[in-house]
């Protein structure tokens, strides 16, 4: 059992060495995209929720 666990972690280390990590600039750009997309979605959901709420209040 111990050999399997050690082998697993050896494989993890080998695979992690193959990973291409993003540069700081790539990370900043990706973070900006995620934040902007999140804000756009939040505004969209807020707008739809407000419209639906007002419509339901008008009907009821």
Query: What is the per-residue pLDDT across 5-51, written as a single tens digit (0 to 9) for each?
Result: 999 999 999 999 999 999 999 999 999 999 999 999 999 999 999 99
Alpha-carbon gap, residue 22 to 18, rounded angstroms: 13
pTM of the model: 0.66
Alpha-carbon gap, residue 31 to 37, rounded angstroms: 10
Per-position b or e across 3-15, b if 16+ CB within 10 A of its CB = eeeeeeeeeeeee
Domain boundaries, the chain: 20-60
* Strands of 1-60, DSSP E: none
């Amino acid at each position: 059992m111990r050999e399997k666990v050690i082998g697993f972690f050896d494989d993890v280390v080998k695979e992690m060495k193959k990973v291409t990590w993003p540069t700081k600039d790539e990370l900043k750009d990706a973070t900006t995209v995620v934040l902007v997309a999140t804000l756009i979605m939040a505004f969209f959901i807020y707008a739809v929720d407000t419209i639906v709420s007002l419509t339901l209040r008008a009907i009821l």
